[in-house]
Each structure stands twice: as C-alpha cells, then as structure tokens.
Amino acid sequence: MIEDPVLLWSLVGTAAGVLLGITGTGGGVISIPILMAFGGYDIKEASAYSLLALSVGAAISWFFQRKNTLYPVAAILILCASIFAFISAPLKAISPDWLVNVLLNLTCLFSLYSLWVLRKPEDPGEDRPTIYRVKTASIGGAVTGFLSTMTGLGGGVVIIPWLTGITRLVFDQAMACSLLTIAVTAPLSAWRQGNINISTGSWISLIVTLIIASFIVKKLTSSISHLQMILVRKLTLTGVIIISMMRTLAALF
C-alpha cells in the first residue's frame, strides 16, 4: 500500500506514460491493477479513477494524431458516448462488484482478440458517404460510453475495429477519432460516477509523470523499425492486459 496519494498517482502516471509511449494508448488497463494493488481501491473505484489516466493519455496521443481526425464522425462519437456514459453511471452504482469485474475481463479478452486479429493498420478503408459514417459511428460511440463507465478501459478496443470494419475508416482515422472521443468523455464518465476525489497535487503528478515517461519511451524507441515496433506494441499491450486480468480476477476469489 502507498499511503502518499501524490506518490501513488506518480506511479500510475509513470506506468501509463510508459505504455502510452510504446502503444499509443492503454492507460486504463495499467492503472486499474496499480490502483487495486497499491492504492487499496476496489474494482469499482479503481475503474472509475483509471479514467483520469486514460483521459490524459488519450488527449496527449490524440494531439499528435489530430490531423487524421474526421470531426463529423468524432462529434457523433462524443455525443453518443457522453449520453451512454451519463446513463450507465447509475447502472454501475447498483451493479455488484463481481459483475463489473466480469465485464472488465470480458473486455480485456476482446481486446486481445482485437489486438491480434481484428486490428489491421494496412486496411485502406472505403470512402463512404458522411451520413453513413455518422450513422454507423453512433453505435460505436454508445458502446464506448457504456464500456468507459463500467470498466474504466475507454472502449477504444471496440470502437477501433468498429470504425475500421463497419464505418470503413482508415486505421489512422479510426485511432484519432477514438482517442478524441475518449479524451473528452472519460472525464465526464469519471465525474458522473460521483466518487472521484483527487487533490490538485495528485492530479499534477499524474499529468507530469505521464508526459515525461511517454516522452522518454518514445525517444528510446525511435530507432526501432516500424514493423518491429508493431510487434513490440502488441506484445507489451498483451502482457499488460494479462497482468490486469490476473489482478482483477484475483478479487473474485
């Protein structure tokens, strides 16, 4: 247990920053086991607080990929995700811990399937009409809002395959739209759950350590080839997801 909240959030920020620097996302999946193991939070609290690290990481990652954003699609994603985040918060409050835990781990399993099977960065996508993209993206936004509230994982694991496979965006466009949606809606989801209490010092330590760690990792990995980096990202995220599942599932037994 880490009693000092600034130190705890520095640890969360550092871990989330390292993962962000390697994979470009994933702050929620590493924050939850850290908050449970070292902060003493239960699954509901950890999944709610993890949204803070998730929102910072997503905002930073989106900033560097913002040129790929399709703003009409992102707008409908944010709108639908916000509505379902607002609706889902009371549902999470009355749900038993085991249900949140199971839902989180099912999402983790799907994330592994998505990572190794569904995500295809080389997919060229299709130039579908804007109205079609907006209609199909609305469903992905609803899923994102629900999952970010219930699990603290953001929903990007579902929305990216949806945007590439159904909405038919190019992978980079899907990633940018997903990151912007998470950056905007994750804080809303955290606030809506009503049990977030983090000091200014802890908040600053989270942001600063996350930025520094991600910057250092990006510099250290800049010499790795693109193909090698794809494999490194997959292996790293797989390892972190497995660790998260082991820690959260331990709470069930």
Could you read off the pLDDT of 186-237 as tens digits, one per residue?
988 888 887 778 899 999 999 999 999 999 999 999 899 988 988 998 899 8
Query: Cα separation of 21 and 23, whole Å?
Result: 6
Whether residue 155 has pLDDT greater than 80:
no
Give the pLDDT confidence score for residue 122 in this predicted structure: 78
Domain holding 10, by residue range, is 5-250
For residue 54, give both structure tokens.
């998730």
Query: Cα separation of 153 and 144, whole Å?
Result: 9
Query: Cα separation of 51 and 150, whole Å?
Result: 11
Give the pLDDT confidence score for residue 226 in this predicted structure: 82
For residue 66, give both structure tokens.
């913002």
pTM: 0.89
Considering its fold, how many domains does the chain have in total? 1
* Residue-wise DSSP of 65-113: HGGG--HHHHHHHHHHHHHHHHHHHHHHHHS-HHHHHHHHHHHHHHHHH
Amino acid at 175: M
Mean pLDDT of the chain: 90
Could you read off the pLDDT of 9-38 as tens digits, one per residue?
999 999 999 999 998 877 888 999 999 999
For residues 134-162, give the mean pLDDT.
88
Residues 54 and 168: beta-carbon distance below 8 Å: no
Number of H helices, E strands in the chain: 10, 0
Give the pLDDT confidence score for residue 81 in this predicted structure: 93
Could you read off the pLDDT of 73-117 as tens digits, one per residue?
999 999 999 999 999 999 999 999 999 999 999 999 988 988 888
